[in-house]
Structures are given as structure tokens and as C-alpha cells.
Amino acid sequence: MDRLDNTIRPYAWGSPTALPDLLGVAPTGEPQAEMWMGAHPGAPSRTPRGTLVEVIEAAPERELGPRTVEKFGPRLPFLLKILAAGAPLSLQVHPDLAQAREGYADEERRGVPLDAPHRNYKDANHKPELICALTEFDGLCGFRAPAAAADLLAALDVDSLAPYVDLLRARPEEAALREVLTAILTADPDEMAHTVTAAAAACDRLGGDQAPYAAIAHHYPGDPGVLAAMLLNHVRLQPGEALFLGAGIPHAYLSGLGVEIMANSDNVLRCGLTPKHVDVPELLRVVRFEPGDPGVLRPEAAPDGEEVYATPIDEFRLSRHVLPEGAAPHDLTLPTPQILLCTAGTVHAGDHTLTPGDSVFVPAYEKAQVTGPGTLFRATVVV
């Protein structure tokens, strides 16, 4: 197995302290948003044998295993991250596989440059993802019931919100959510900024359930995404709890430290809380206007002590091992590629000693024995 040397992405929304605290290093004073572990071409992990992209390209079946190559092609189909949100990320959705293929092909036909700011589809893949909290973690996930959203908006007592409240109470659920989100995103920008400012002031005054939206508005004053966020479920994960975010589910991470895993794609359609391009027609084509519970996941215990975060897709499988001190070595050998990430304590993986933030890549069929005491996240695929 290979120890990974990983890139930390300094996105503006990143926390300046959360990742350094986990890694036991001094903060730089700059935001540190994401540590990437995998073979994403934008920032592949480095190994003693070269980048993980180079290692896999040199011998795909040896590194990934024949079943993984047969199912996903000669590439690692997932990207593992540690995500440290110090400010809200953009409100966004991801396409399903058919939508991604169609959208990518269409933009290729029209000659839209891959780096164009208005480009929606960077590749032809979908991007389901899972976030598992390492600290208390706040986010938004999926639509709340329209009646509950109407109550939340009505409590602000802002006259310009009354038409949205009426729509949410009068129309069938999916139609109500579609019409209100469309109205928010297509309203006159100056009028919307005034409404958002008034709504934010009311959220700040009321506190309670409204407090998260006041905090969002502090980071994105006047942004219509503040009102769009109020249509969504606010979720506070405790350490060890997770959210699965499938295609078409609007979501945003607000604050906290977590382990994130996703299919290896860059396809994002934004709804707000960002200065970046918002393609409203394409967004409305992709969003699933289905209210419901956000579905907080807790790990399911397997007989060997593995705790699995069950999801309905095959590009990734995330699990956790809490390894006690003095226990016999635990065998994690699989016929699929793995990334092992330590998040607490000290874990011995083969010849490697891992402390929080350290990770290794384990090729398919490579012997992988681990001991603690520590907590280890394991990322692999389903074949």
C-alpha cells in the first residue's frame, strides 16, 4: 500500500482552523477547505510511485482489480475528501447519469469551452455524494414540506414574501415548490436584494429556527439563495451521522468538519449563495421538487466490526472502523481498490503509522491489516 500526499484546496468558504486542528499543524491564516484523496485529474494524490493517476494508468487491473475495471473502466470512480466548512457553500444540485451525459454532449456539440464560466457539465458522469460528520455539522438537504416553508416565511412578516407564502399554501406540493423557486431565481435582482435584506433582518431578530438563515445572509447579503435555502430542510449532524445526496436533491453545507465521498465528477448546477453562474432553466430541469425528510444516516454494524454507510450507488462505499487498543490485527483485504483514512488516534496499516488526516491507497487484493487504537474510514467500490 502507498502513503498518500494530498492537496488541500484553499476555497474561500473553508475554515482556517478545522483542518489544521485535525492534522495537528499550525494554521496558515488562510482558508483550508478540502483535502482531496484520490485520482481526480485536478489534484491527484501523490505516492512514492508517482501520482495516483499515473499509478493506475500504468496498470489498471493490478491497481483496481479486474472487476472494478470491467464495471467502471480503468479509473478510480470515487474521490474522498475531508471537508472543512467555515462558511456556507453554494446551494446546488447534481444531475443523474442520463442528464449528465445529455448535458455534456449538448455543450460539446455547441462548442462551449470546458473552462467557460457558464459551462454546466464538465464531464459525462453523475455526482452522488455522502458527507459524514466528524464534528457537529450543519447543512441543508432536500425540500421541506411547502406548508412548513410557508410558516417559516410568514413568520418573518415581510410584505414582499406574501405571494410566496400564498403559493406554498395554495398549490400542490411539487408545483408549489417549483413555482416559488422559479419566482425567487427570476425576480428583479434589486427588488430581490431588498426582500432578502428585510428577511435576513427578521431572521436575526427572531432567532431560533430562523437563525441559520440570518447566518447565511451574513455571508451572502442580498443573494436570492437565502430565500431558496428557507425552502430546504435544515439538518444538524452529530459526529458519526451522515447524509446521502442523490441526483436532483438541492443541498448546501453550512459549517463543520466531515469526511465526504463522491463519484468522480465536477458536475454542479448552482441555485444561489454564489457569485458563479446560475442557469435557471437547466437547474429547473434537474431539480427534484419532492419534499421529504433529509434521511440522516447512521452506520450499520457488520459482523466484523465494520460500520457501513449504506447508499444506493456503486461508485463508492464508505465505512468506519473504530479499532480498540490491544486487539488482534484486523484484515481489510479486498478485491477492489481502497483508500484508508485515519481520523482519530493512531492506526497501523501495514508498515504505515497513520495519525489524523493520514491516508493510504491499497491496491486490489493487496494485503491490508490494521490495528489501533484509532478510527479509520475505508473508501472502496461495489462490484
Q: State the Cα–Cα distance between residues 163 and 159, nearest whole angstrom.
A: 8
* CA-wise closest residue to 273 among 328, 215, 333, 205: 215
In this structure, what C-alpha cell is assigned to residue 185? 431565481
What's the grid cell of residue 130? 455522502
Radius of gyration, alpha carbons of the chain? 22
Q: Is 233 helix (H, G, I), strand (E, B) or coil?
A: strand
Q: Is 37 exposed, middle or buried (0-12, 13-18, 19+ CB in 10 A)?
A: buried
Q: What are phi and psi of 157, to 5 degrees?
A: 55, 45
Residues in the chain: 383
What is the grid cell recorded at 379? Answer: 473508501
Buried b / exposed e over 152-172, threshold 16 CB at 10 Å, is: bbbbbebeebeebbebbeeee
Q: Among the options 3, 46, 75, 270, which is catalytic?
A: 270
Task: Give, to the nearest 10 degrees, the angle between helix 189-206 and helix 211-219.
Answer: 140
Phi–psi pair at 16, nearest 5 degrees: -75, -10
Cell of 235: 439538518
The torsion angle over the Cα atoms of residues 320, 323, 327 and 328, rounded to 10 degrees, is 40
Active site includes 3? no
Grid cell, residue 380, equals 472502496
Which positions ≥6 away from 230 have C-beta within 8 Å? 149, 152, 153, 199, 213
CA angle centred on 337, ends 331 and 340, rounded to 5°: 60
Residues 6 or more apart in contact with residue 379 via CB below 8 angstroms: 37, 78, 80, 261, 316, 317, 318, 338, 339, 340, 341
Question: Which of 40, 31, 38, 41 lies closest to 9, judged by CA?
Answer: 31
Enumerate the active-site residues.
Answer: 270
